[in-house]
């Protein structure tokens, strides 16, 4: 059975995010330079800024900060669907699992799946969509999984 996905054009609203649909997040190659740049600013443990230290660490190479992988995820999700939607942001994240290292030269792809949704009780023009997002490396291995609930306005509501 082929699972549904989002409409290809037009602004996306709460109604479009039916449980069971999946959304491809496109593809993104990650370079040593951007791993080091992010890490120097935010998370400069040796394994994220130095090739040799990374190789000796649990990562086995110059590896991205897990928080950098999160930032790349929201970039990929923004380009795939959030920026053409009525999203009002998210109140948090249920969990993040950094399952495998993201190393310099890896090419990431991703898939977001709608697992459940409901209308807000306090603001009925707003819907809450719970999604599981996975990023994969070029070998198809899951490198990160996270779940969160994203708020979207219903169709026709003012932003």
> Which stretches of the chain bind a copy of itself, using CB under 8 A?
38, 41-45, 47, 56-59, 65-67, 70-72, 74-75, 78, 82-83, 87-99, 151, 159
Residue number, 73 or 117, with CB nearest to a copy of itself: 73
**Residue 119's CB: how many other CB atoms inside 10 A?**
13
Q: How far apart are CA 28 and CA 5, in angstroms?
A: 21
**Residue 36 φ/ψ region, left for φ over 0, alpha for ψ in the -120 to 50 degree band, beta for the rest:** alpha
Q: Which is nearer to a copy of itself, 6 or 65 (CB)?
A: 65
Q: How far is the CB of 139 from a copy of itself (least distance, A)?
A: 20
For residue 2, the minimal CB distance to a copy of itself (Å) is: 30
Nearest CB to a copy of itself, comparing residues 32 and 90: 90
Give the count of beta carbons closer than 10 Å to the beta carbon of residue 76. Answer: 22
Mode of pairing for the β-strands spanning 126-136 and 142-153: antiparallel
**CB 69 → a copy of itself: shortest distance, Å?**
10
Question: Dihedral of CA 134/136/142/144: which sign?
Answer: negative
In this complex, which beta carbon is closest to a copy of itself, that of residue 1 or of residue 89? 89
- In whole angstroms, the minimum distance from the beta carbon of 114 to a copy of itself comes to 19
Question: Encoding tokens for residue 1?
Answer: 């059975």
Residue 133 CA to residue 93 CA, distance in Å, equals: 11
**Looking at beta carbons only, is 77 or 114 nearer to a copy of itself?**
77
CB of 75 to a copy of itself, least distance (A): 5
């Amino acid at each position: 059975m082929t699972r549904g996905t989002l409409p290809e054009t037009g602004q996306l609203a709460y109604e479009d995010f039916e449980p069971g649909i999946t959304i491809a997040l496109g593809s993104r190659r990650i370079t040593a330079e951007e791993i080091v740049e992010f890490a120097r600013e935010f998370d400069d443990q040796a394994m994220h800024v130095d090739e040799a230290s990374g190789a000796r660490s649990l990562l086995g190479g110059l590896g991205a900060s897990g928080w950098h992988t999160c930032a790349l995820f929201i970039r990929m999700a923004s380009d795939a669907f959030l920026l053409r939607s009525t999203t009002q942001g998210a109140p948090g994240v249920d969990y993040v699992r950094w399952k495998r290292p993201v190393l310099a030269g890896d090419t990431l792809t991703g898939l977001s799946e709608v697992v459940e949704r409901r209308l807000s009780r306090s603001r009925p023009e707003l819907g809450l969509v719970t999604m599981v997002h996975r990023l994969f490396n070029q070998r198809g291995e899951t490198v990160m999984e996270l779940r969160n609930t994203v708020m979207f306005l219903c169709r026709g509501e003012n932003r």
